[in-house]
Structure 1
Amino acid sequence: MPPPKVDVEAPHTDLTNDHPRNGGSSASSSKDGPSNGEKAAADGGAGTGPGDGGRRGSTLGTLLNNPLVGMSREDILADVDSFVEEKGIAEHRDVFRKGALVAQVSNQDGAFEHIAELDEEEKNLLRRELTHRWSQPFMLYFLCTLCAGSAIVQGMDQSAVNGAQTFYYEYFDIRSPEMQGLLNGAPYLCSALLGCWTNPILNKWFGRRGTIFISCFVSVVTGFWMAAADTWYNLLIARFALGFAVGAKSSTTPVYSAESTPKTIRGALTMMWQMWTAFGIALGTIVGVAFANVTVFGEYTQWRWIMGSTSIPPLIVMLQVYFCPESPRWYMEKQRYPDAFKAMKRLRYSPVQAARDIYYAHKLLEIESAEREGRSWTEFFTVRRNRRAAQSSWFVMFMQQFCGVNVIVYYSMQIFQNANYTRDEALLVTMGTGLTNWLFAIPAIYTIDTFGRRNLLLVTFPLMSIFMFFTGFSFYLPEGSNARLACIATGIFCFMAVYSPGAGPVPFTYSAEAFPLHIRDIGMCSATAVTWGLNFVISFSWPSLVAAFGDTGAFSWYGAWNIFGWVTCYFFLPETKNLTLEELDNVFGVRNRDHARYYLTKLPWYIKKHLLFQDVEPMPPLYAFDQTSPSVKKHEMATTSHNEGTAQ
């Protein structure tokens, strides 16, 4: 039996050859048993060559299907006519007819050129979509600025405490490591226990935009509340209440971006959440430096200015919300198709592109809806496609915390002071880590949709481990020496530089796109609850961890977790780049054992190719396109069944 062969890591742009593109019905078509593609995986599948009926087989995974492939022109047009009548958009019949014909050939390069119904202007826009993927309407980018603003709010809420804590520890005379950890981590405890789980309710009644508005309003109120706190427990309550904003905002904003953007740049635009969160973190550290010597209200009151400043960015975001369209997929989930089409037209250059995306998503959602009929909430765990999406999302969220980054975000002031920096020096160096975090997130805009989500993690996990160990063991250098100061700063800055394009943007991008629409809200809630729950664990435990094991032991603890992250990512994490949200059904339908078995087989191939620089044969992809029409498939299945019966 030949070994399974996959290469989802290499960045592919050939949409009809090496990368999954063709829709998602087969892998998730069975409630309990494996799909056709999974059966092939279980058998080790030999796969078919390019001459076999136009099909490219997969030796492990699943054949990805466009549900429109194989339908005649007359069938598609009849289906469109029924669709527009049913959904109340009959006045757009002609444009949806064009959109459906384009959707049918969306995975075949240049095939739209032969659609007679399209005029030259429409064809030019479709050509430009392929050659200039960053050429998008103003409203799409304005929507992205809204998401960016929401992320800045999130970042400031996280990092402002870094510069403020030194002052409110003194102001309220807080000496206990446990109490210090609780004050710093209170928002994330609330977010994990309550804030994230308000997301489905808020999204159901107020939509994506309304949820962002409400969460920013909470950020405004709690920012001023923290600044005015007169006791430590009042400050604790205010910070706990902030968790309602942190949870709802982080669960909704990446989903809003993912549902509104084209698949060719979805990863880049969705990861703006993390890039601008990094900018917000930098802004929070800058504010800490700016107010370090402002003592208008007395000694050690600088923290009031720092905390109060976090109320300004959410006010701006609240104003932006009213100018952006709602998520088209949210409208579709509510059966508000006229509103969905209107919103999509604002986010695409032409009505044909908007109609194509609405109709294609609708057809895939039809399949998804039929498959989940009669199921209960237990399908979150009992259906492999959903279970694998949850497992993968929870893993990347887990590693975003246990890579150790928030130790630096929340405690770099303390870390640098332990390294014998003065308070002012520690503030300035902390600001530098925040700026580094933001600047090095920018390259991920270009790599997350080409190099891929999985590859970014595989490259950065080992580097983060090295720099965590380097920083920890730098504390063994002579106390007060320039070498000690320089090595600790170097290790932390290098860690932030490699974190920012990998474990920074990937988790929220990945989680926002992993779940099917009908459980996307609850799935994203669970993923963000994981990250904020562990965020609390880290922020609460770091002072005690340092007290028990010293700086070297504490940093080495997180260095070891990065090694674990690399191993798990290599064997079990699927790639999701350049697919529509609905097409991912098939990707997450592949079993863990099959995914791990292939990459175990491929490990020697990597060593020969990238370490020994040997000339080795390329390995076939994990996911392949199925360009066979339904009628051909039916004939093949009947023939196979007849042959097996004859043989018996």
Structure 2
Amino acid sequence: MSGKLGTMIEHEQTATAPAPGKFVPQRTFGTAAERARRNINAKLSNPLAGFSHADLRKQGRNFAIAHEIGDESDIRAFELGAVLAQSPERYATVAGLTTQEKEVLRREFAHRWSQPWTMYAVIALCSLSAAVQGMDETVVNGAQIWYKHQFGIADDSPRSTWLVGLVNSAPYLCCAVVGSWLTVPFNHWFGRRGTIFLTCCFSAIACLWQGFVSTWWAMFVARFALGFGIGPKSATVPIYAAETAPPAIRGALVMQWQMWTAFGIMLGYAADLMFFKVADTPAIVGLNWRCMMASAMFPALVVCCFVFACPESPRWYMSQKQYYRAYQSMCTLRHHKMQAARDLYYMHTLLEAENSMKLGQNKLLELITVPRNRRAMLASEIVMFTQQFCGVNVIAYYSSEIFLEANFSPAAALGASLGWGMINWLFAIPAIYTIDTFGRRNLLLCTFPLLALSMFFTGFSFWIPEETSHTARIACIALGTYLFGIVYSPGEGPVPFTYSAEAYPLYVRSYGMALATATTWFFNFLLGVTWPSLRSAFTAQGGFAWYGSWNLVGWWLVLLFLPETKGKTLEELDQVFSVSTCFHAQYGLRQIPYCVKRYLLRRDVRPETLWEREDAAPAQDLGYNA
């Protein structure tokens, strides 16, 4: 292994553990099975490490010939591509490249957003799919102002408050118990594009269906069906983006899922405001809210119309043993066939490494039984849980109701919700930069206290007497929700999905992501179904204070149990998550006096190093280890 741990590493068979603070090679400890798993993870970090250029050329040529990929020029591309895949940034040291080919490879890193039009089509597809997701979630925000009266569930009785919550949160119940778990079979049967097409069809049909219902239970059924569109799509689109994007922009492209979901959330609020004044006809009651609910079908239809104009994921083709089609697809996504051959051959080596893993145990069980995986699961579940229990979807789903309770007019309530949606989107944009510079853990530790303060401020603002200061009351409530959106968007918004996608070893990553996705949708459902009753029982002040308190709990959970994953390769992450949970918690507690001494008392103190590498890190992490 390339690093050393400054930790007490948990192990089953060693009687004594090293004292904290000593740097001990990780390979010293662990059972044979654990060492085998660590070797697998190291192999996945770069399966081509250690081969000479001559060996790699031979491997690339044999791969192209064995799978009957192209002509002699394509075979040459695979010969050189296999060499380039070992260290993409060291293209200048590869013999046999022409001046033109070197210039293409240089531009890939110097001008990383210079891509073929098909790559931009994929980016547009992923962005629109995320917008579909956001709009599906928030058109109900304004529509519920009217449909709950029409369905006879608008009073403050326990039955009505629970039914309103159940109807609004029905899609997320479906996602948690069924939808998210359909990701694997849908992707296997239909591919990435097919899954996106199918889920957008589900979304469009369910959204239209919602506009024609006349009872609360019919709305519940329609919205539950919407979960079949939301669940698999939320997992498939980031996978599709990661598998098609060049390494230099892969992280930024996958990160944009959250940003464009926020854009879709804003579109949902805009649609609510747009159809607010639509009048009923003699034959239709509630035409305004019906138009709001049905409007979310339009971005889904746009995705359905052009999804098959984009190439299928080359990795999916390779998993189906369709190597030539994978190569054709990759060629449309890169400027030069040399780049296509390089990335395709690297995918092939990773797939071979995955297929060779026979550890003799169910991978779902390995999430729990293997200490390294268990710690990754604990960290992933923490960020997914706190993403919901920070209270964001109280505002996303019920902001119009909250503003009405603050005595906003219906139009003003919808306008204030639109303002929150715009803030949520705009402040998600900086996260593309800060998540890789400031770090995942640091973002959460800095923003959780501010999220708590925003929640407390919003809730306590309801105590401002309306009779004496109506304007101040309205302004403070709106300000509190807006401040929450400003702090949430670069922190708890983008971190959970990014963190969960990188924390797990590759051989159990799909299972870990399925669990993480199901977790966030389950707690999303729990928050949505309980808020109306929570607000009725404890008032708005108590409801906001409840979620403000959970932000403080989240801060402690992150401090104690969440290792930083910024800028680390798979091999390094394998070591980071080999630090015992107890020792990391002690390390987190020691960070409190360090921060007090350095930032408050302004003392010159050095931060504690949890672990460090023996050798220098590579000059540039281009994403090939992701």
The TM-score with structure 1 as length reference comes to 0.82
Q: Could you report, residue by residue, the CA deviation over 1:35-84 in whole angstroms, capped at 9, with x for unpaired residues?
A: 9xxx9998842689xxxxxxxxxxxxx98964433333333333334443
* Structure 2: segments with no counterpart, 5+ residues: 27-40, 618-626
Closer, same or farther: CA 240–129 of 1 in aligned 2, 3 Å: same
**C-alpha separation in 1, matches of 2:144 and 2:561:** 39
1:209-229: CA deviations, max 9, x gaps? 111111100111111111111
Which residue pairs with 1:243 in the alignment? 227
Give yes or no for the alignment of 1:145 onto 2:124. yes
**Whole-Å Cα distance in 2 between the matches of residues 34 and 295 of structure 1?**
73
**Pairs within 5 Å for 1:44-443:** 44-45=22-23, 66-89=46-69, 91=71, 92-106=74-88, 111-174=90-153, 175=155, 176-297=160-281, 300-377=286-363, 378-443=365-430
1:511 corresponds to 2:500: yes
Using a 3 Å threshold, how does the CA distance of structure 1 residues 63 and 335 change in structure 2: closer, same or farther?
closer
Q: Which has the higher contact order (CA 8 A, sep 6+)?
A: 1
By how many angstroms is 1:267 displaced? 2.9
- Could you tell me how far 1:535 is from its partner in structure 2? 0.9
**Distance between the aligned counterparts of 2:542 and 2:573, measured in 1?**
41
Contact 1:63 1:625 in 2 (8 A): no
Q: Shift in Å at residue 593 of structure 1?
A: 4.0
Task: Report deviation, 1:446.
Answer: 2.5
Q: Which amino acid aligns with 1:232?
A: W
Judging changes above 3 Å, is the alpha-carbon distance between structure 1 residues 138 and 592 closer, same or farther for their aligned structure 2 residues? farther
Deviation at 1:428, TM superposition (A): 1.1
Residue matched to 2:517: 528
Summarize the Cα distance change of 1:431–1:185 in structure 2 as closer, same or farther, 3 Å threshold: same
Residue 436 of structure 2 aligns to a residue whose secondary structure is coil
Q: What is the alpha-carbon distance in structure 1 between the residues aligned to residue 221 and residue 117 of structure 2? A: 41
Q: What is the distance in 2 between the residues matched to 1:464 and 1:293?
A: 34
Deviation sequence 1:576-616 (CA, Å, 0-9, x none): 44567798656555543454454444544444444444334
Evaluate the alpha carbon distance shift between residue 625 and residue 72 of structure 1 in structure 2; reply closer, same or farther with a 3 A threshold.
Answer: farther
Counterpart AA for 2:290:
R
Does the C-alpha gap of structure 1 residues 627 and 71 become closer, same or farther in structure 2, counting only changes over 3 Å?
farther
More divergent stretch after superposition (515-524 vs 270-279): 515-524
Amino acid at match of 2:406: A
Does the CA-based 8 Å contact 2:142-2:289 persist in structure 1?
yes
**Aligned partner of residue 184 in structure 2, secondary structure:** helix
Output the CA distance in 2 between the equivalents of 1:503 and 1:310.
25
Question: Once the two structures are superposed, what CA deviation does each residue of 1:181-202 show, in whole Å capped at 9, x if it has no partner?
Answer: 1111111111111111111111
**Is the 2:255–2:494 Cα contact (8 Å) retained in structure 1?**
yes
Decide whether the 8 Å contact of 1:41 with 1:594 is kept in 2: no
Partner residue of 1:11? none
Shift of 1:520: 4.2
Q: Match for 1:490 among 475, 479, 491?
A: 479
Task: State the secondary structure of the residue aligned to 2:211.
Answer: helix
Separation (CA, whole Å) in 1 of partners of 2:354 and 2:122: 28
- State the alpha-carbon separation in 2 of the partners of residues 557 and 626 from structure 1: 47
Residues 431-510 of structure 1: matches in 2 within 5 Å? 431-480=418-467, 481=469, 482-510=471-499
Query: Structure 1: any 5+ residue segments left out of the alignment?
Result: 7-26, 49-61, 629-648
Q: Secondary structure of 2:356's partner?
A: helix
Compare 167-176 and 392-401 and name the one that shifted more: 392-401
Deviation, 1:621, is 7.4
**More displaced 10-residue stretch of structure 1: 129-138 or 405-414:** 129-138
Q: Is the 8 A contact 1:103 1:360 kept in 2?
A: yes
Q: 1:102 to 1:588 in 2, by over 3 A?
A: farther
In the aligned structure 2, how far is the partner of 1:327 from the partner of 1:42?
A: 46
Does the residue aligned with 1:488 lie in a helix, a strand or coil? Answer: helix
2 CA distance for matches of 1:510 and 1:34? 31
Q: TM-score normalized by structure 2?
A: 0.85
Which range moved further: 614-623 or 447-456? 614-623
- Tell me the distance in 2 between the aligned counterparts of 1:300 and 1:178: 22
Contact 1:255 1:513 in 2 (8 A): no
How far the C-alpha of 1:284 sits from its partner, in A, is 0.9
Map of 2:556 onto structure 1: 567
In the TM superposition, residue 87 of structure 1 has moved relative to its aligned partner by: 4.3
Asked whether the equivalents of residues 60 and 80 of structure 2 are also in contact (C-alpha less than 8 Å), the reply is: no
- RMSD of Structure 2 on Structure 1 (CA): 3.2
Pair 1:614 & 2:594 matched? no
Aligned-partner Cα distance in 2 for 1:578–1:129:
20
For 2:545, give the aligned amino acid.
Answer: S
CA distance in 2, matches of 1:83, 1:571: 47
